[in-house]
Amino acid sequence: MITAQNLIKHFGTATAVNNISFEVKEGENLVLLGTSGCGKTTTLRMINRLIEPDSGTVFVNGTDIRTQQPEVLRRGIGYVLQNHGLFPHYTVAENIAIVPRLLKWADQDIRKRADELFQKLNLDASLAGQYPAALSGGQQQRVGLARSLMVNPPLLLMDEPFGALDNLTRISIRKEFRALDELVKKTIVMVTHDVQEAFEMGDRICLMDKGEIKQIGTPEELLFKPANDFVRGFFDEQRLQLELRSVLLKEVFPESDASSEVSVWDRMDALLHPENGNLPADDIRIGDLMRAFETYKRK
Protein backbone atom coordinates (compact mmCIF):
# COMPACT_ATOMS: atom_id res chain seq x y z
CA MET A 1 0.00 0.00 0.00
CA ILE A 2 2.73 2.47 1.02
CA THR A 3 6.33 2.27 -0.07
CA ALA A 4 8.73 4.89 1.25
CA GLN A 5 12.18 4.95 -0.32
CA ASN A 6 15.26 6.75 0.96
CA LEU A 7 13.42 9.67 2.56
CA ILE A 8 15.63 12.51 3.72
CA LYS A 9 14.46 15.75 5.30
CA HIS A 10 16.49 18.58 6.77
CA PHE A 11 15.15 21.55 8.69
CA GLY A 12 17.86 24.15 8.42
CA THR A 13 20.99 22.40 9.57
CA ALA A 14 19.13 19.78 11.60
CA THR A 15 18.41 16.42 10.03
CA ALA A 16 14.88 15.33 10.88
CA VAL A 17 14.74 12.20 8.77
CA ASN A 18 17.90 10.54 7.55
CA ASN A 19 17.47 8.19 4.62
CA ILE A 20 14.71 5.86 5.74
CA SER A 21 12.78 3.27 3.76
CA PHE A 22 9.83 1.14 4.82
CA GLU A 23 6.71 -0.52 3.53
CA VAL A 24 3.16 -0.74 4.85
CA LYS A 25 1.01 -3.56 3.57
CA GLU A 26 -2.68 -3.21 2.82
CA GLY A 27 -4.80 -3.49 5.98
CA GLU A 28 -1.73 -3.29 8.18
CA ASN A 29 -1.35 -1.11 11.25
CA LEU A 30 2.13 0.38 11.37
CA VAL A 31 3.14 2.37 14.44
CA LEU A 32 5.96 4.91 14.22
CA LEU A 33 7.41 4.86 17.73
CA GLY A 34 10.09 7.00 19.28
CA THR A 35 10.86 9.86 21.62
CA SER A 36 10.03 13.42 20.58
CA GLY A 37 12.32 14.76 17.88
CA CYS A 38 13.07 11.32 16.45
CA GLY A 39 11.47 12.20 13.09
CA LYS A 40 8.31 10.09 13.37
CA THR A 41 5.88 12.97 12.79
CA THR A 42 7.96 14.30 9.90
CA THR A 43 7.86 10.83 8.36
CA LEU A 44 4.08 10.68 8.75
CA ARG A 45 3.57 14.12 7.24
CA MET A 46 5.65 13.22 4.21
CA ILE A 47 3.04 10.58 3.32
CA ASN A 48 0.30 13.18 2.68
CA ARG A 49 2.74 15.86 1.50
CA LEU A 50 2.23 18.20 4.45
CA ILE A 51 6.01 18.04 4.36
CA GLU A 52 7.94 17.51 1.12
CA PRO A 53 11.08 15.36 1.48
CA ASP A 54 14.41 16.81 0.34
CA SER A 55 14.96 13.54 -1.48
CA GLY A 56 13.36 10.12 -1.67
CA THR A 57 10.00 8.95 -2.90
CA VAL A 58 6.71 7.80 -1.42
CA PHE A 59 4.42 5.54 -3.42
CA VAL A 60 0.81 5.03 -2.39
CA ASN A 61 -0.81 2.15 -4.25
CA GLY A 62 2.12 2.13 -6.62
CA THR A 63 1.71 5.81 -7.60
CA ASP A 64 4.38 8.37 -6.83
CA ILE A 65 2.51 10.88 -4.64
CA ARG A 66 4.36 13.77 -6.28
CA THR A 67 2.38 13.18 -9.45
CA GLN A 68 -0.81 14.05 -7.60
CA GLN A 69 -1.98 17.50 -6.58
CA PRO A 70 -1.43 17.64 -2.79
CA GLU A 71 -5.02 18.73 -2.02
CA VAL A 72 -6.46 15.86 -4.07
CA LEU A 73 -4.07 13.37 -2.45
CA ARG A 74 -4.98 14.53 1.07
CA ARG A 75 -8.73 14.32 0.47
CA GLY A 76 -8.26 10.58 -0.16
CA ILE A 77 -6.25 9.99 3.01
CA GLY A 78 -7.79 10.19 6.48
CA TYR A 79 -5.89 12.42 8.92
CA VAL A 80 -6.31 12.45 12.71
CA LEU A 81 -4.35 14.84 14.93
CA GLN A 82 -3.45 14.89 18.59
CA ASN A 83 -5.39 18.09 19.28
CA HIS A 84 -8.24 16.85 17.07
CA GLY A 85 -8.06 20.09 14.98
CA LEU A 86 -11.82 20.49 14.91
CA PHE A 87 -12.94 23.86 13.50
CA PRO A 88 -14.20 25.85 16.50
CA HIS A 89 -16.64 27.83 14.32
CA TYR A 90 -18.25 24.73 12.78
CA THR A 91 -20.76 22.46 14.53
CA VAL A 92 -19.94 18.78 14.88
CA ALA A 93 -22.11 17.99 11.86
CA GLU A 94 -20.37 20.69 9.81
CA ASN A 95 -16.96 19.55 10.96
CA ILE A 96 -17.40 15.99 9.82
CA ALA A 97 -18.88 17.17 6.51
CA ILE A 98 -15.74 19.09 5.51
CA VAL A 99 -14.04 16.48 3.33
CA PRO A 100 -17.28 15.18 1.75
CA ARG A 101 -18.13 18.77 0.82
CA LEU A 102 -14.69 19.25 -0.71
CA LEU A 103 -15.47 16.14 -2.75
CA LYS A 104 -18.90 17.60 -3.58
CA TRP A 105 -21.01 14.88 -1.99
CA ALA A 106 -24.79 15.30 -1.99
CA ASP A 107 -26.29 16.47 1.32
CA GLN A 108 -28.33 13.32 1.91
CA ASP A 109 -25.25 11.12 1.36
CA ILE A 110 -23.36 13.15 3.93
CA ARG A 111 -26.21 12.84 6.41
CA LYS A 112 -26.52 9.09 5.89
CA ARG A 113 -22.82 8.46 6.35
CA ALA A 114 -22.68 10.74 9.41
CA ASP A 115 -25.56 8.88 11.08
CA GLU A 116 -23.79 5.61 10.43
CA LEU A 117 -20.52 6.80 11.97
CA PHE A 118 -22.30 8.41 14.92
CA GLN A 119 -23.73 5.02 15.78
CA LYS A 120 -20.50 3.11 15.33
CA LEU A 121 -18.54 5.62 17.39
CA ASN A 122 -21.09 5.79 20.20
CA LEU A 123 -21.75 9.49 19.61
CA ASP A 124 -25.14 10.79 20.67
CA ALA A 125 -27.11 12.25 17.75
CA SER A 126 -27.81 15.39 19.82
CA LEU A 127 -24.12 16.32 19.57
CA ALA A 128 -24.44 17.03 15.85
CA GLY A 129 -25.60 20.59 16.43
CA GLN A 130 -23.03 21.36 19.14
CA TYR A 131 -19.78 23.25 18.75
CA PRO A 132 -16.55 21.40 19.59
CA ALA A 133 -15.93 23.51 22.70
CA ALA A 134 -19.04 21.97 24.31
CA LEU A 135 -17.72 18.41 23.93
CA SER A 136 -15.59 16.32 26.31
CA GLY A 137 -12.06 15.35 25.27
CA GLY A 138 -13.13 11.82 24.43
CA GLN A 139 -16.06 13.05 22.38
CA GLN A 140 -13.83 15.50 20.51
CA GLN A 141 -11.42 12.71 19.64
CA ARG A 142 -14.24 10.52 18.39
CA VAL A 143 -15.59 13.35 16.26
CA GLY A 144 -12.07 13.86 14.92
CA LEU A 145 -11.94 10.18 13.97
CA ALA A 146 -15.42 10.31 12.46
CA ARG A 147 -14.33 13.28 10.38
CA SER A 148 -11.37 11.34 8.99
CA LEU A 149 -13.53 8.30 8.24
CA MET A 150 -16.40 10.12 6.49
CA VAL A 151 -15.31 9.40 2.93
CA ASN A 152 -14.09 5.94 3.93
CA PRO A 153 -10.48 6.40 2.86
CA PRO A 154 -8.44 3.20 2.56
CA LEU A 155 -5.48 4.85 4.28
CA LEU A 156 -5.49 6.63 7.64
CA LEU A 157 -2.69 8.74 9.12
CA MET A 158 -2.87 9.34 12.86
CA ASP A 159 -0.57 11.70 14.71
CA GLU A 160 -0.65 10.91 18.45
CA PRO A 161 -4.42 10.44 18.22
CA PHE A 162 -4.85 9.80 21.95
CA GLY A 163 -2.12 12.14 23.17
CA ALA A 164 -4.41 14.87 24.48
CA LEU A 165 -6.60 12.53 26.54
CA ASP A 166 -6.29 11.60 30.19
CA ASN A 167 -5.05 8.09 30.96
CA LEU A 168 -8.37 6.39 31.69
CA THR A 169 -10.16 7.87 28.68
CA ARG A 170 -7.18 6.99 26.51
CA ILE A 171 -7.28 3.31 27.47
CA SER A 172 -11.02 2.99 26.97
CA ILE A 173 -11.03 4.84 23.64
CA ARG A 174 -8.10 2.77 22.42
CA LYS A 175 -10.06 -0.37 23.20
CA GLU A 176 -13.09 1.02 21.36
CA PHE A 177 -11.00 1.96 18.34
CA ARG A 178 -9.46 -1.48 18.10
CA ALA A 179 -12.91 -3.04 18.07
CA LEU A 180 -14.17 -0.69 15.35
CA ASP A 181 -14.95 -2.59 12.16
CA GLU A 182 -14.31 0.56 10.12
CA LEU A 183 -10.68 0.48 11.20
CA VAL A 184 -10.06 -3.25 10.80
CA LYS A 185 -9.85 -3.17 7.02
CA LYS A 186 -7.86 0.05 6.87
CA THR A 187 -4.21 0.63 6.34
CA ILE A 188 -3.12 2.81 9.26
CA VAL A 189 0.10 4.64 9.96
CA MET A 190 0.10 5.94 13.51
CA VAL A 191 2.62 8.05 15.38
CA THR A 192 3.04 7.66 19.14
CA HIS A 193 5.62 7.97 21.88
CA ASP A 194 3.65 5.67 24.17
CA VAL A 195 5.11 2.15 24.18
CA GLN A 196 1.96 0.52 25.59
CA GLU A 197 -0.09 2.15 22.89
CA ALA A 198 2.32 1.02 20.19
CA PHE A 199 2.14 -2.58 21.37
CA GLU A 200 -1.60 -2.49 21.69
CA MET A 201 -2.40 -0.87 18.34
CA GLY A 202 0.43 -1.92 16.06
CA ASP A 203 0.64 -4.95 13.78
CA ARG A 204 4.19 -3.83 13.26
CA ILE A 205 6.23 -1.20 15.06
CA CYS A 206 8.81 1.04 13.45
CA LEU A 207 11.14 2.22 16.22
CA MET A 208 12.93 5.45 15.28
CA ASP A 209 15.73 7.48 16.81
CA LYS A 210 17.49 10.60 15.51
CA GLY A 211 15.84 10.36 12.12
CA GLU A 212 16.74 6.73 11.55
CA ILE A 213 14.83 3.45 11.79
CA LYS A 214 16.36 1.29 14.52
CA GLN A 215 14.14 -1.70 13.91
CA ILE A 216 10.90 -2.45 12.17
CA GLY A 217 8.93 -5.58 13.01
CA THR A 218 6.13 -7.13 15.05
CA PRO A 219 5.97 -6.30 18.77
CA GLU A 220 7.32 -9.78 19.58
CA GLU A 221 10.26 -9.34 17.26
CA LEU A 222 11.21 -6.05 18.88
CA LEU A 223 10.90 -7.53 22.36
CA PHE A 224 12.47 -10.91 21.91
CA LYS A 225 14.78 -10.37 18.94
CA PRO A 226 16.03 -6.79 19.32
CA ALA A 227 18.28 -5.80 16.41
CA ASN A 228 20.62 -3.73 18.57
CA ASP A 229 21.28 -2.33 22.02
CA PHE A 230 19.12 0.75 21.38
CA VAL A 231 16.05 -1.39 20.78
CA ARG A 232 16.80 -3.59 23.76
CA GLY A 233 17.34 -0.60 26.02
CA PHE A 234 14.26 1.20 24.78
CA PHE A 235 11.84 -1.34 26.26
CA ASP A 236 13.77 -2.24 29.42
CA GLU A 237 11.62 -0.29 31.85
CA GLN A 238 8.37 -1.96 30.84
CA ARG A 239 9.86 -5.18 29.52
CA LEU A 240 8.09 -7.71 31.72
CA GLN A 241 4.67 -6.17 31.30
CA LEU A 242 5.16 -5.82 27.54
CA GLU A 243 6.34 -9.40 27.26
CA LEU A 244 3.41 -10.72 29.23
CA ARG A 245 1.02 -8.69 27.13
CA SER A 246 2.51 -9.74 23.82
CA VAL A 247 2.51 -13.50 24.50
CA LEU A 248 -0.76 -15.37 24.14
CA LEU A 249 -1.88 -17.75 26.83
CA LYS A 250 -2.28 -20.39 24.15
CA GLU A 251 1.38 -20.20 23.26
CA VAL A 252 2.39 -20.92 26.86
CA PHE A 253 -0.30 -23.47 27.60
CA PRO A 254 -1.08 -25.09 24.24
CA GLU A 255 -3.63 -27.33 25.97
CA SER A 256 -5.60 -24.31 27.28
CA ASP A 257 -8.90 -23.60 25.60
CA ALA A 258 -8.46 -19.79 25.91
CA SER A 259 -9.26 -17.76 22.84
CA SER A 260 -6.52 -16.17 20.70
CA GLU A 261 -7.40 -12.82 22.25
CA VAL A 262 -6.20 -13.69 25.75
CA SER A 263 -2.60 -12.86 26.60
CA VAL A 264 -0.59 -14.13 29.55
CA TRP A 265 -1.02 -10.63 31.05
CA ASP A 266 -4.81 -10.88 30.83
CA ARG A 267 -4.81 -14.21 32.58
CA MET A 268 -2.54 -12.94 35.30
CA ASP A 269 -4.70 -9.84 35.74
CA ALA A 270 -7.72 -12.06 36.25
CA LEU A 271 -5.87 -14.07 38.91
CA LEU A 272 -4.73 -10.98 40.78
CA HIS A 273 -8.12 -9.27 40.63
CA PRO A 274 -10.69 -12.06 41.02
CA GLU A 275 -13.23 -9.46 42.17
CA ASN A 276 -13.61 -8.38 38.52
CA GLY A 277 -15.31 -11.73 38.04
CA ASN A 278 -13.76 -12.76 34.75
CA LEU A 279 -11.75 -15.70 36.16
CA PRO A 280 -12.14 -18.67 33.82
CA ALA A 281 -12.81 -22.14 35.21
CA ASP A 282 -9.34 -23.58 34.64
CA ASP A 283 -6.89 -24.31 37.44
CA ILE A 284 -3.83 -22.37 36.26
CA ARG A 285 -2.09 -20.61 39.14
CA ILE A 286 0.36 -17.71 39.17
CA GLY A 287 3.34 -19.97 39.84
CA ASP A 288 2.46 -22.22 36.92
CA LEU A 289 1.99 -19.20 34.70
CA MET A 290 5.38 -17.66 35.41
CA ARG A 291 7.22 -20.99 35.09
CA ALA A 292 5.55 -21.73 31.78
CA PHE A 293 6.32 -18.19 30.55
CA GLU A 294 10.02 -18.49 31.45
CA THR A 295 10.16 -21.82 29.64
CA TYR A 296 8.49 -20.25 26.61
CA LYS A 297 11.00 -17.41 26.57
CA ARG A 298 13.98 -19.74 26.67
CA LYS A 299 12.74 -21.56 23.55
Partner 1 sequence: MEQTTGFWQFIAQQSDKLWSQTLAHVGLTLISLIIAILIAVPLGIWIARKQRIAGAVLGFAGVLQTIPSIALLGIMIPFLGIGPKPAILALFLYALLPIIRNTYTGISGVNAAVIDAARGMGMSNWQILTKVELPLAFPVLMAGIRTATVINVGVATLAAYIAAGGLGEFIFGGIALNNSNMILAGAIPAALLAILLDFLLSLLQRVNLKRVRVTYVILPFILVTMSSFYLLPTQIGGRMLGGFTPEFMGRQDGYLGLKKVYHLGIETVVISDAVMYKAAFEKKLDVISGYSTDGRLKAFNLITLVDDRHIFPPYYAAPIVRQAVLDKHPELEAILNQLAGVINDSTMTALNYKVDELKQSPEKVAMDFMRSRHLYRPARNGSGGTIRIGSKIFGEQYILAQMYKILINGNSELQVETKTGLGGTKICFDALTNNQIDFYPEYTGTGFLVLLQPDEQTTKKLGGDTDGVYRYVSQQFNEKYQIKWLKPIGFNNTYALMMRREQAQSLQIKSITDLTKHLNKN
In the complex, the residues that contact partner 1 under the rule CB under 8 A are 48, 50, 70-76, 79, 81-90, 94, 98-99, 102, 147-148, 157
> Minimum Å distance from CB 102 to partner 1?
6
Q: Supply the minimum distance, in Å, between the C-beta of residue 127 and partner 1.
A: 17
Tell me how crowded residue 87 is: count the other CB atoms within 10 A of its CB.
12
Taking the mean position of all CA atoms in its chain, how far away is CA 292? Answer: 31
83 versus 295: smaller Cβ distance to partner 1: 83
Query: Whole-angstrom Cα distance, residue 184 to residue 180?
Result: 7
| 93 vs 180, beta carbon nearer partner 1 | 93
Q: Minimum distance between the CB of residue 86 and partner 1, rounded to whole angstroms?
A: 7
What's the min distance (Å) between Cβ of 262 and partner 1? Answer: 37
Q: In what side-by-side order are the strands of the sheet with 29-33?
A: 77-80, 155-159, 187-192, 29-33, 204-209, 212-217
Which is closer to partner 1, CB of 140 or CB of 215? 140
CB of 92 to partner 1, least distance (A): 13
Is 12 or 287 the residue whose CB approaches partner 1 more closely? Answer: 12
CA distances from 181 to 56, 156, 177, 178, 193 (A): 34, 14, 9, 8, 25
Q: Which is nearer to partner 1, 29 or 48 (CB)?
A: 48
CA 38-39-41 angle, to 5 degrees, is 120
Helix 286-298 vs helix 264-272: angle between axes, to the nearest 10 degrees? 160
Q: Whole-number minimum distance, CB 95 to partner 1, in Å? A: 9
Instruction: Identify which of residues 95 and 246 has a Cβ nearer to partner 1 in the complex.
Output: 95
